[in-house]
Amino acid sequence: MDEVGQIAHWIQEASEERGNAVYLADARSPRRVRYRDLTAAVADWDKRLTDADVPPGATVATAVTDPLDAGPALLGLVATGRVAAPFDPAAPRALDRRRAEPDTVAVLTDNGLERLANRVPTRRPAGVLLSSSGSTGEPKQVLLSDAQLAYVATAVADSHQLGPADVGYCPLPLYHVNAEVVGLLATLRARGRLVLDRRFSRSRFWATVDAHEATWVNAVPAIVALLAEDGTTTEDPARIRFVRSASAPLPVPVLRRFEDMHHIPVLESYGMTEAASQITVNPLDGERRPGSVGLPVGGELKVVGDDRREQPAGEPGTVLIRGPGVIRAYATDVGAERFDAEGWLDTGDLGRLDEDGYLWLVGRSGELINRSGEKILPREIEDVLREDPGVRDAVVVGRPDPVLGEVPVAYVVASTDDPGLPDRLAERCRAALPRDRRPAELTVVEQLPITGTGKVRRAEVAEMVRSSGLRGAGSP
């Protein structure tokens, strides 16, 4: 191996300190990976890659189904100085596109390691190469170095007070930055245990959490919403210190329903691939503010107006971030306009800071609906819809209108079979929203297009609306 990075050091230290302790556990089988196994896995991966003529700095695309294979493989690639580019095994087209890129030297799948012919390695810092979520537009390539990953994982472990006694449960995909940093790496840093599940199951959730004696849960709003509908709960709510919610806004009514039902605190957070996951989080000790994504952790954040000057407390604007975990450019020659000379990244998110520095997100700049020159934030309509317990999820997008330019239209996923839901939601909107902000059409659909972490693909929804609309169960 070339110069050993921070993650390789963590693996070596954890093996020496807690060699016999379990690092990873399979939620659906008795399989375990102990800390001492990681050291052997790193050595094995270095030999396999060297024998296959995949040198340090080379990019290896991965698409591995079993999380207890995928996790050690990702760590082994980074710890041996390579660049791991993880993909969803159920989305072969994305993997094929990465395979076709000339900088991809090898591909790791359930069938093994394949060295691609006639590929000259592009030398890069050890780390992971990821795509941004693409929920609002074209995904961009993000290269996160070993040092950036380690820095943010340390911030996550510190802010969540993770230690060797903690057992995390993570049903999120390992091809996403959240599961990689908040799950794998923060647990490694804390010398704790992580239970990996290849998918979320509402019917099995609490039994799995109890069987493994989990002390915290890594979740997304879609999971929290489903659990808020289910009267089944844990045998010991006091054991679970918190449920962490990330990836998308968590509606306040959903948070309150979950906490009232299960008596477990939810920590809302904010992150993005470009920042190696976590940017802000509500404090574990201290005031949690429902609807806010919390305070900055490990980096800087400011909210600016159109003139790029910082906004006063309470005034909305564009969220900018910078810090050791934030990239300074994309891996390909795109998106340069989002970075400035001082290292600030324009997140594309709109938000406001309160007087105590808590961040409140209100939407994304590209989501604004322009109705006769009046800018409408979809989230203010979505929050009204989600207040109804019959709504599991909701998305509002703009539909072209020959007179008004755009009008808001809403699509909701119902939590129960309720024919009266559209009329009830229409009445709720009439009571809570000005006329120009009420949806021109409201449709109940069975599902919405989502990313692997449950974030609605707004760009896809908007395109379907522009073309032929989404087919649903009815509208008022």
- Domain edges within the chain: 9-46+133-359, 368-467
- Judge whether residue 395 has pLDDT over 90: yes
**pLDDT band, very low/low/confident/very high, at 470 (cuts 50, 70, 90):** low
CA atoms of 91 and 88, how far apart (whole Å): 5
> pLDDT averaged over the chain?
92
Question: pTM value?
Answer: 0.87
What percent of the chain shows pLDDT beyond 70? Answer: 96
Q: Is 18 exposed, middle or buried (0-12, 13-18, 19+ CB in 10 A)?
A: middle
What is each CA distance from 162 to 103, 154, 166, 168, 275, in whole angstroms? Answer: 37, 10, 6, 9, 20
For residue 147, what pLDDT band results from cuts at 50, 70 and 90? very high
- Written out in words, the top-level CATH class of the domain with range 368-467 is alpha beta
- CATH code of the region 9-46+133-359: 3.40.50.12780
- Above 70 in pLDDT, residue 469? no
At residue 476, the pLDDT reads 40
Span 240-246, mean pLDDT? Answer: 97
Calpha distance 149→240 (Å, rounded): 26
Range of lowest pLDDT (51-65, 123-137, 306-320): 123-137
Provide the 10 A C-beta neighbour count for residue 305.
13
- pLDDT higher at 340 or 366: 340
Per-residue pLDDT reduced to its tens digit, 169-198 = 999 999 999 999 999 999 999 999 999 999
Name the DSSP letter for residue 312: P
Number of Cβ within a 10 Å radius of residue 289:
18
Answer for the pair 357, 338: CB distance below 8 angstroms, yes or no.
Answer: no
